[in-house]
C-alpha cells in the first residue's frame, strides 16, 4: 500500500516538474487505458487505489511513446509499484 502511494506521488512529481511532456500516441493511450482496466478488474485490493490518478500517472510515465513497445517501461513500473 505504501509503495503505491509513493509511486503515485513520485509520478505526480515527475509529471509536474518535467519539461513539457507529450501525450502518448492515440493507439498507445488506448492500449494503456485497457491495461489499467485489466489491472483494476483483477487487482485484489482494487478499492485501495485511486484509479483515476493511477491512470494519469501511467499516461504521464509513457509520455511521448509512439509505439506500444515504447510504453512497456511505464507498464512495468506500474506493475512493480502495485506489489
Choose among 6, 62, 3: nearest CA to 35. 62
Cell 517501461, located at residue? 73
* Closest by Cα among 66, 77, 53, 62 to 18: 62
Closest CA to 63 of 51, 77, 49: 77
Considering the entire predicted model, what is its pTM? Answer: 0.73
Question: Is residue 78 within 8 Å of 61, Cβ to Cβ?
Answer: yes
Q: What is the pLDDT along the chain (83 residues), one digit of tens a residue?
A: 666 666 666 566 565 555 567 899 999 999 999 999 999 999 999 899 999 999 999 999 999 999 999 999 999 989 987 87
Amino acid at each position: 500500500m505504501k509503495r503505491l502511494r509513493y509511486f503515485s506521488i513520485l509520478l505526480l512529481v515527475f509529471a509536474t516538474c518535467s519539461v513539457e511532456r507529450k501525450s502518448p500516441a492515440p493507439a498507445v493511450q488506448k492500449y494503456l487505458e485497457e491495461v489499467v482496466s485489466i489491472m483494476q478488474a483483477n487487482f485484489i485490493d482494487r478499492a485501495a487505489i485511486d484509479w483515476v490518478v493511477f491512470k494519469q500517472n501511467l499516461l504521464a510515465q509513457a509520455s511521448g511513446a509512439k509505439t506500444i513497445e515504447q510504453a512497456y517501461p511505464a507498464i512495468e513500473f506500474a506493475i512493480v509499484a502495485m506489489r
